[in-house]
Chains A and B, each alone.
Chain A
Amino acid sequence: MEASLLLIQLLNGLQLGILLFLLSAGLTLTFGIMDFVNLAHGSLYMLGAFICASLTQLTGSFALAALLAVPLTALCGLLIEMVVIRQLYSRNHLDHVLATFGLILCLDTIAEIVWSPAGIAIALPDILNGQLEVLPGVVVPVFRLLIIAVGLLAAAGLYVLVNHTKLGMLIRAGASNRTMVGALGVDIKTLFSGVFAMGAALAGLAGLLVAPIAEASIGMGNEIIITAFVVIIIGGIGSMKGAFIAALLIGLIDTLGRSYLDDVFKLIMSNEAAETAAPAISAMLIYLMMAVILAIRPQGLFPASSR
């Protein structure tokens, strides 16, 4: 059973890592290009989940709801960018942090008013609700595999977009020298809005993928956003490659730590001590890892070369 259980945990870790990547990709885009720190990114994740939950109830189809929820979340992001965020690009990081903190309070309360404080579960269609035997003895929920597949697809799409399209060229150029891109006649305002909306779409995608497993709830983004921050700190802020690798690393370490740390501890201490210490340490594991990595490399694993 050990090997199959380990495989299942690995898949769970991979799934968490993929979700973290979808979130940190948006953070990386907005930070890398606009030099903007967005604490309210987690609220977009929450909006994605709620919009999808409502649409599923309305249309009766999760697939249709998911397809609609992504552009709708992007639209919310666009609106927020135009009303609030845009005024802040010229300010310092402290102002970004404070204003988007206020934004979180607003968005969470709006969600509480529009939906309910209780949270909404999403019912999956039968095809997605089943289990799949990927290897003899290894049974995995289909939906978890779907999350991994969709996430990897989004990552690949993002890679192609950034590295092989004209828009991607502008994005990369914007990341290395914004002023110069503006001087060359590119409409920076539209580019920034577009990039922000793209980050919002990715956050919304992550939110709607999580919602069927964990239900849409108020403040769901405020917890995972910190983990996403840990991801981009470890990966090197502004680096997409770093975000991807660090997201998978964090996802795996967090999941495996929670399931196996007590076994490891039992090798070196008494059973009782291990059972008290393991949950606390495993909850702190990714932060401890961050501390170690930063002590060695203060700029993260893959520092963005432009900064």
Chain B
Amino acid sequence: MPETKLVPNNKPRPISFWINAILLLLLAVAPPILFITGQPFWLDVFTRLVILALAATALNLVLGYGGLVSFGHAAYLGLGAYAVGIPTYHALYGGMDAIASFNGFLHLGLAVSVSALFALLTGAISLRTRGVNFIMITMAFGQMIFYAIVALENYGGDDGLTIDVRSEFPLISLDNPLTLYGLCYLSLLVALFIVYKITRSRFGLTLQGARSNEERMRSLGVNCYRYQLVAFVISGAICGYAGFLLGNFSTFISPEMMDWTRSGELMFMVILGGAAFLCGPIFGAAAFILLEEVLRDVTIHWHLPFGLLLILSVLFFRGGLSGALDRLRSKGDKP
């Protein structure tokens, strides 16, 4: 069967396609220019933006396409970051010879595999429930990792851990901010490609079918649980990878980065950008981070207008930025 027949709603999307392309192009070009013209601060902002966009893209796979409202995704960011921090700590100060190393491939492997394993274990339990139970259980499991890290006094506990040496790779050095940004940006593109491929595959269509009408999928003989669990593990692994990047970027990690409010922020990025739109999370992360920077400049109490905007966006701005784009498009299409 030709691939195209599997794809629902395969109408061309001229406006949103071009806006997505411009956004990605902007992210490729603007930060290096800003950096070279002497604005390293903005390169930092963009690096954080791209890493969080990557994490939000991972979350979008389960939240947007799978309809599974996971409120614990910050835990994977944290696991990924500590997969850099803990081996580096031991390589510097001894102990735990099995993982003590600066080797980036080891860090990366640990980040992805530990996150995938955690997603598998918690997903296996959480996915037995639905709706509000699922929201709260994923939240509680995320918080479990938070408290576990807080209790690990060896690695700084509450105070956090400084990563003195970034992950080492052959040929490239992550100490160069431009190289790091390039890696993050390429990772985002790859993740987008993976999610794109998944959503157009039979697997992805089953996942979306389960979101729309799980009972019907089940009566068609599909074991939704298995599909959702696999999606959950993939999402967790990508998010753990984002954590690996975040650890290398910020070089200071603490349990605070996996607090449940961080998971809430990730969810907001997905929803703000428009769930189940491929580039939605990037829009969401961009809106979120840039708004944060702007408001932070205006007042130290920036959480107040920020929170108000979030409430207003839920009340009056359904479908997020991508949704607004789509409405624009459908208006334009009307004869």
Chain A residues with a Cβ under 8 A of chain B: 31, 37, 39, 84, 87-88, 91, 93-95, 97-99, 101-106, 108-110, 112-113, 222, 226, 229-230, 232-233, 237, 276, 279-280, 282-284, 287-288, 290-291, 294-295, 298-300
Contact = CB atoms under 8 A, between A and B. Distances in A.
A97 B304 contact: no
Interface stretch (B161-169, B180-188, B214-222, B259-267): B259-267
B271 A94 contact: yes
B132 interface: yes
A83 B148 CA distance: 38
A290 B139 CA distance: 12
B23 interface: no
B147 A283 contact: yes
B140 A287 contact: yes
Closest 5 CB pairs of A and B: A105-B307, A102-B310, A287-B144, A106-B307, A283-B147
Given A101-B264, A105-B306, A229-B136, A295 B125 contact: yes
B304 A233 contact: no
B172 interface: no
Contact of B307 (A104, A233, A280, A288): A104
Nearest to A290: B140
Interface stretch (B12-20, B42-50, B149-157): B149-157
B135 A99 contact: no
B311 A99 contact: yes
A226 B140 contact: yes
A284 B143 CA distance: 9
B8 to A, nearest CB: 22
A143 to B, nearest CB: 27
B262 to A, nearest CB: 11
24 contacts: A87-B315, A88-B315, A95-B314, A97-B264, A97-B267, A98-B268, A98-B310, A99-B315, A101-B264, A101-B268, A102-B314, A106-B303, A106-B304, A110-B304, A226-B143, A229-B136, A233-B137, A279-B151, A279-B153, A284-B147, A284-B148, A287-B147, A290-B140, A291-B125
A105 B314 CA distance: 14
Contacts, number: 126
Given A94-B271, A98-B271, A102-B311, A299 B139 contact: no
Contact of B151 (A94, A226, A280): A280
B334 interface: no
Given A103-B307, A229-B136, 20 more contacts: A37-B132, A87-B315, A93-B69, A97-B71, A97-B267, A98-B268, A98-B310, A101-B261, A102-B306, A106-B304, A109-B301, A226-B140, A226-B143, A280-B148, A283-B147, A284-B147, A287-B140, A294-B125, A294-B129, A298-B128
Interface string B34-53: 00000000000000000000
The residue in B69, B133, B148, B152 that gathers the most chain A C-beta atoms within 10 A of its C-beta is B133
B308 interface: yes
Interface residues of B, number: 42
Interface of B: 69, 71, 122, 125-126, 128-129, 131-133, 135-137, 139-141, 143-144, 147-148, 150-154, 260-261, 264, 267-268, 271, 301, 303-304, 306-311, 314-315
Contacts of B126: 294
Contacts of B128: 294-295, 298
A105 B140 contact: no
Given A98-B310, A102-B311, A284 B144 contact: yes
A287 B122 CA distance: 11
A101 B310 contact: yes
Nearest to A234: B140
Contacts of B264: 39, 97-98, 101
A60 B268 CA distance: 43
Contact of B141 (A93, A279, A291): A291
Contacts of A288: 144
Contacts of B306: 102, 105
Contacts of A226: 139-140, 143, 260
B119 to A, nearest CB: 14
A70 B334 CA distance: 56
Contacts of A101: 261, 264, 267-268, 310
Contacts of B152: 280
A91 B139 CA distance: 21
A295 B122 CA distance: 10
A109 B307 contact: yes
A233 B136 contact: yes
A106 B311 contact: yes
Nearest to A279: B151
A105 B303 contact: yes
B64 to A, nearest CB: 11
B143 A287 contact: yes
A93 B132 contact: yes
A294 B148 contact: no
